[in-house]
Chain A
Amino acid sequence: MHNENQSLIFELSKEGRVGYSLPELDVQDFDLTELLPEGFVREEAAELPEVAELDIMRHYTALSRRNHGVDSGFYPLGSCTMKYNPKINENVARLSGFANIHPLQDEATVQGAMELLYELQTSLVEITGMDEVTLQPAAGAHGEWTALMMIRAFHEANGEGHRNKVIVPDSAHGTNPASATVAGFETITVKSNEDGLVDLDDLRRVVGEDTAALMLTNPNTLGLFEENILEMAEIIHGVGGKVYYDGANLNAVMSKARPGDMGFDCVHLNLHKTFTGPHGGGGPGSGPVGVKADLIPFLPKPVLVKKEDGSFHFDYDRPQTIGRVKPYYGNFGINVRAYTYIRTMGPDGLKAVTEYAVLNANYMMRRLESYFDLPYNRHCKHEFVLSGRRQKKLGVRTLDIAKRLLDFGYHPPTIYFPLNVEEGMMIEPTETESKETLDAFCDAMIQIAKETEENPSIVQEAPHTTVISRLDETRAARTPILRYTKIEG
């Protein structure tokens, strides 16, 4: 049944069909030539599909069946925190009083929405240990850039505009160096040591009077806690730099350690990860930024404040602000979901989240350590990284293992990352999975390890059960086809 090409919506189009129901026009009609000058009216119509409503529903239902989400099955994609996306969040975000309000309405008419944002801000201040939070950045990378722009403004305000270097560990998320570049900084890479942690000697070597900031993920992308964090903060602060916390991995430390207590000056969070977003097939996200007091003047405008009379207000009078980072006030719909989640879990719940996230990762790591190489053998936090070196020697690459996992109905781990692990597989189970699920996944991994020794071709040629086999990515990049074009005749 899967041998035929899945139709594109354009291929289902038939002239004369409609899928819409517009209001009747109840005012005097005009000919467009009376309303628009010559040349302003489009000559050729945009070729959008012409389909009836059932065609649309069947088309997208067919597409959805060719897609794996958290609700379809286990999704241990490291660094992405693919936890369950609570359904109450979806209901709350769709309440008319939240979904159908315009961002430029008079503040008096949107106090409920502003109260929710203020409460979320306040909760995130407590969770991060920072002094103030902005909810404006649209995603993690956007938050990174926002925070770096604030650090830049801080140094410039202190007459230290020469600080143009941002230090990033070799295990960092790829967005870190990219964000630094977009914010106008140069990136300096600091090495990891044999324990998988930042090499302090190398850090001391690279810092100097041109250091603007250190960007650090803690736990790092190997899932290991940077236990020398206080010393690292001291080194950076000692030369006048700022320490930045990449909150992608916050799920590992909630109620255990707060960035603000660990010496960090600012932090971004990924509400679509730790606070159940959801991920939406690649977005939308939300990337709030928390800062310590000395960075507050530089927050993007407007800043949401609570006035003495208890009402909420967007404050634009911020002379040292970095400016606007996004129209309006951030991805409100995602912030509503995150707030709903925090209120669903409460203080005990968030602590339990982290404890189970870490327990689950350690359990899986111990179940798998004798079948795959474990480059850093110590307690992990919410994720761990295996190496497929042993399997590679038998002709099976990590990519093959990932593809074989598809046959078992799993989304594979993040692969070939972090860059400092050969044939890396980064596994993050999250706290919302049951022991049965973790065991079944481990059993599949163990079976694949055995297949690699006994019958490697079954792994090398995987996947065998998906609607499509491995795709020719070289061809896609060499002769790019980025849109459908109707074949005439």
Chain B
Amino acid sequence: MVHRYLPMTEQDRKDMLATIGVESVDELFSDIPESVRFQGLYNIREAKSESALLKELKQLAAKNEDTDSNVSFLGAGIYNHYKPVIVDHVISRSEFYTAYTPYQPEISQGELQAIFEFQTMIAELTGMDLANSSMYDGGTSLAEAGMLAAGHTRRKKLLVSEAIHPEYRDVVATYAYGQSIEIVLVPTNNGVTDIEQLKELIDDNTAGVMVQYPNFFGQVEDLQTLGDITHEAKGLFIVSANPLALGILTPPGKLGADITVGDAQVFGIPESFGGPYCGYFATTTKLMRKVPGRLVGETVDQEGRRGYVLTLQAREQHIRREKATSNICSNQALLALAASVAMTALGKKGVQEMAKQNIVKTRYAKNAFEAAGFTVPFQGAHFNEIVVKTNKAVSDINKQLIEDGIIGGFDLGRTYPELENHVLLAVTELRTKEEIDALVEKMGAYNA
């Protein structure tokens, strides 16, 4: 068969078979028992030429309403942010994207150094001592933090705030089931974790307390108080944080967090219908040897030149095997590179300015909704999301909004029955005053 990805010629094939000493390629498969040998060809669609396939897939892509040609107010963990154009140029360099895990440091210094820089930037933003090289996403990273807490404290209960992303909570519950860890939900009060309830629920079997910062409703939690309560019970305080918000908000590391996790999708990574994103995992020096996943460390070569290697690998699955506390192997290295480039482009000033624009524009939207007669139930400090109460079903309003080229917010009734007819709206730095005004006006019309 002649194909552009298969360079062997008929002559090559003959010569190679002669070297091997067989008559046909089929002989090389003679060890597959006759009874299980697959006959013929897969019943899948026929191959298409490059141009024909591209045309077909473009048409398929065009069936979707994207956040480029529509105006999106949908967040709930994944956001439509400014993506510096340079990000895609860097991650399109095939020396990065066609490499694998940097097992051979002499020819992988580029990747290793880029990860070292990523680890540094995440540690800076979160205020933690150190960060790993990435996790699959924010949800699985939170679950791994819970598993670490249970292993470290030898306790079997996790307290999980109901103001954490519902899908993240679901993932934590699945991992916890595997490790026979009990999950207890901590209710909310006025859109933030209920401190009195936490005090009631925490006990000496509590491995850790998990909260989100800002939380799922966009509200900024009082980490100091929550952390103090956790530490009084000798549990680990685990914070799932939006790293962009940390451009402005006091970092969890300064407020008692033992582990800070989250998703760096906010830094240059497209929404991409759920992935790939970039989970991060940051913690204290005390817990360094229990961190899941890969860590890059600085060292020197034989001539004393600075270089980087994968380090502390005694924790990892390929050495610890059945003693490993995490099984993560492949992670999200290319997305960590993307996030690094975006964090570098934004830099010290840009990350502050971008975070501030999110807060300010969201405040503008909040005021506009209230002025239009909408109720905004949670009045605490917010980042870039607010909850707005509607009279009509959110799904119906959203169906009308998409006709106007607006992707509406997240229908909270889907996961919080008590919040039926409440919508979670995200306002990022990309939303203009005009777009916000249009949203308020249209929602006012569809809500009447």
- What 0/1 readout, one digit per residue, does chain B (161-178) give for beta carbons within 8 Å of chain A? 000010110110111011
Stretch from A273-281, A387-395, A452-460 contacting the other chain: A273-281
| Contact present for A101 and B13 (CB under 8 Å) | no
Residue of B nearest to A363 (CB): B16
- Nearest CB of A to B286, in Å: 13
Interface flags, A324-352, vs B, CB<8A=1, else 0: 11111111111000001011111111111
The verdict on A328 contacting B320 (CB below 8 Å), with A63-B109, A66-B110 known, is no
Chain B residues lying within 8 Å of A328, measured Cβ to Cβ, are: 78, 167, 273-275
Min CB–CB distance B166 → chain A (angstroms): 9
B54 pairs with A91, CB closer than 8 A: yes
- Interface centre among B66, B88, B320, by most chain A C-beta atoms within 10 angstroms, is B66
Q: Is the CB of A278 within 8 A of B7?
A: no
B203 at the interface (CB under 8 A from A): no
Are A41 and B57 in contact, CB atoms less than 8 angstroms apart? no
B46 touches A346 (CB 8 A): yes
A-B interface pairs (CB < 8 A), number: 692
Answer whether residue A1 sits at the interface, using C-beta atoms and an 8 A cutoff.
no
Q: Mark B318-333, 1 if CB is under 8 A from A, else 0.
A: 1111111111111111
Contacting pair B106 A43 (CB below 8 A): no
Asked if A483 CB lies within 8 Å of chain B CBs, one says yes
**B190 interfacial by beta-carbon distance below 8 Å:** no
Instruction: Verify if B33 is at the interface (C-beta below 8 Å from A).
Output: yes
Q: Which chain B residue lies CB-closest to A197?
A: B31
With contact pairs A379-B30, A471-B105 given, residues A19 and B299 touching in the complex (Cβ less than 8 Å) = no
Q: In residues 377-417 of chain A, which contact B (Cβ within 8 Å)?
A: 378-379, 381, 402-403, 406, 411-412, 414, 417
Interface check A309, CB cutoff 8 A:
no
Q: Any chain B CB within 8 A of the CB of A212?
A: no
Q: Which of B64, B113, B309, B344 is within 8 Å of A101, CB to CB?
A: B64
A398: min CB distance to chain B, Å: 13
Contact A123:B44 (CB < 8 A) given known A105-B65, A109-B407, A325-B171: yes
A35 contacts partner chain B, Cβ-Cβ < 8 Å: yes
A480 within 8 Å of B (CB atoms): yes
Which stretch (B120-128, B152-160, B385-393) binds chain A?
B120-128
B86/A327 in contact, CB under 8 A? no
**Minimal Cβ-Cβ distance residue in B for A435:** B12
Among the listed A19, A101, A144, A431, which residue makes an inter-chain contact with B86, where contact means beta carbons less than 8 Å apart? A19
Q: Select B31's contact among A145, A182, A355, A379, beta carbons within 8 Å.
A: A379
Residue A64 contacts which of B47, B54, B110, B311 (CB distance < 8 angstroms)? B110
Q: A50-B348, A329-B274 are in contact. Are A472 and B86 (CB under 8 A)?
A: no
Q: What are the residues of chain A within 8 A of B316 when measuring CB–CB?
A: 174
CB of A281 within 8 A of CB of B121, answer no
Residue in B54, B323, B347 whose beta carbon sits within 8 Å of that of A50 in the complex = B347
- Residues in A neighbouring B15, C-beta threshold 8 A: 435
A347 and B44 within 8 A (CB): yes
Partner of B349, one of A18, A40, A102: A18
User: Taking the nearest CB of chain B, how far is it from the CB of A247, in angstroms?
Assistant: 14
| A330 vs B274: C-alpha distance when bound (angstroms) | 6
A27 contacts the other chain (CB 8 A): yes
- Cβ A104 vs Cβ B76 within 8 A: yes
Counting CB contacts under 8 A, is A272 at the interface?
A: yes
> Do A468 and B298 touch (CB < 8 A)?
no
Give Cα distance in the complex from A326 to B353, angstroms. Answer: 32
Q: A179 within 8 Å of B by Cβ?
A: yes
Residues on the B chain within 8 Å of A17, using CB? 347
B350 touches A19 (CB 8 A): yes
Q: Is residue A267 within 8 Å, beta carbon to beta carbon, of the partner chain? A: no
Task: Give the distance in Å from the alpha carbon of A177 to the alpha carbon of B327 in the complex.
Answer: 9
Given A184-B180, A332-B272, residue A281 in contact with residue B295 (CB < 8 A): no
Give A178 Cβ to nearest chain B Cβ, in Å. 4
Query: Looking across the interface, which residue of chain A has its beta carbon closest to that of B299?
Result: A476
Which of A74-82, A203-211, A237-245 forms part of the interface with chain B?
A74-82
List the B side residues contacting A258 at CB < 8 Å: 36, 38
A484–B122 Cα distance when bound, in Å, is 11
- In the complex, the chain A residue whose C-beta lies closest to that of B320 is A178
Which of chain B's residues have a CB closer than 8 A to the CB of A230? 33, 35-36
B184 contacts A by Cβ under 8 Å: no
Q: Within the assembled complex, what's the spacing in Å between the Cα atoms of A434 and B350?
A: 48
Task: Answer whether residue B193 sits at the interface, using C-beta atoms and an 8 A cutoff.
Answer: no
Within 8 A of B (CB), among A169-219: 174-175, 177-184, 186-187
A92 touches B330 (CB 8 A): no
Shortest B11–chain A CB gap in Å is 9
User: Are A39 and B250 touching (Cβ within 8 A)?
Assistant: yes
CA distance A367 to B19 in the complex (A): 8
Count class of interface residues, chain B: 35 or more
Bound form: Cα–Cα A283–B276 in Å: 9
Shortest beta-carbon distance, B253 to chain A, in Å?
11
Contact with A along B358-378 (1 / 0, CB 8 A): 011101100000000000000
The listed residue (B25, B246, B300) touching A358 by CB distance below 8 A is: B25
Partner of B98, one of A49, A57, A70, A149: A70
Q: Tell me whether B335 is interfacial, beta carbon within 8 Å.
A: yes
Q: Which residues of A contact B288 (CB under 8 A)?
A: 480, 482
Chain B proximity of A273: nearest CB distance (Å): 10
Spot the interface stretch: A3-11, A288-296, A443-451: A3-11
* Residues on the A chain within 8 Å of B416, using CB: none
Interface residue from A22, A30, A144, A414 paired with B353 (Cβ < 8 Å): A22
- Cβ contact within 8 Å between B350 and A63: no
Interface of chain B residues 1 through 44 with chain A (CB within 8 A): 1, 3, 5-8, 12-13, 15-17, 19-22, 25, 27-33, 35-38, 41-44
Indicate if A251 sits at the interface (CB-CB under 8 A): no
For residue A362, which residues in chain B have a CB less than 8 angstroms away from its CB? 16, 20, 22, 28
Residue of A66, A300, A340, A433 near B7 (CB, 8 A) is A433
Q: Kindly list chain B residues whose C-beta atoms are within 8 Å of the C-beta of A355.
A: 25
Contact of B346 among A20, A59, A67, A262 (CB under 8 A): A20
Q: Is the CB–CB distance between B97 and A18 below 8 Å?
A: no
| Residues of B close to A65: CB separation below 8 A | 95, 110
Contact B276 A5, beta carbon cutoff 8 Å: no
Task: Return the contact of B107 from the options A36, A67, A229 (Cβ within 8 A).
Answer: A67
- Other-chain residue from A47, A77, A123 in contact with B124 (beta carbon distance below 8 A): A47
Asked if residues B96 and A22 are in contact (CB atoms below 8 Å), the reply is no
Give the residue of A49, A99, A333, A471 whose beta carbon is less than 8 angstroms from that of B301.
Answer: A471
With both beta carbons as reference points, the residue of chain A lying nearest to B11 in the complex is identified as A435
Does A42 lie within 8 Å of B312, measured CB to CB? Answer: no
**Within 8 Å of chain B (Cβ to Cβ): is A488?**
no
Question: Is the pair B301, A476 in contact by a Cβ cutoff of 8 Å?
Answer: no
Bound-state CA distance A149–B351 (Å) is 40
Assess the A92–B7 pair: CB atoms within 8 A: no
B351 contacts A256, CB within 8 Å?
no
B residues in contact with A284, CB < 8 Å? 136, 275-276, 330-335
Give Cα A186 to B321, complex, Å. 12
Known: A144-B327, A367-B19. 13 other contacts (CB 8 A): A19-B84, A25-B361, A32-B248, A41-B249, A49-B348, A61-B93, A64-B90, A75-B100, A95-B58, A179-B327, A349-B5, A379-B22, A431-B8
14 contacts between A and B (CB under 8 A): A42-B247, A68-B95, A110-B64, A181-B325, A281-B114, A282-B101, A330-B275, A331-B275, A332-B275, A347-B41, A348-B41, A359-B25, A360-B16, A435-B7
Q: Which 8 A-B pairs have the closest CB atoms?
A: A346-B47, A328-B274, A97-B61, A112-B63, A280-B334, A67-B110, A69-B98, A282-B333
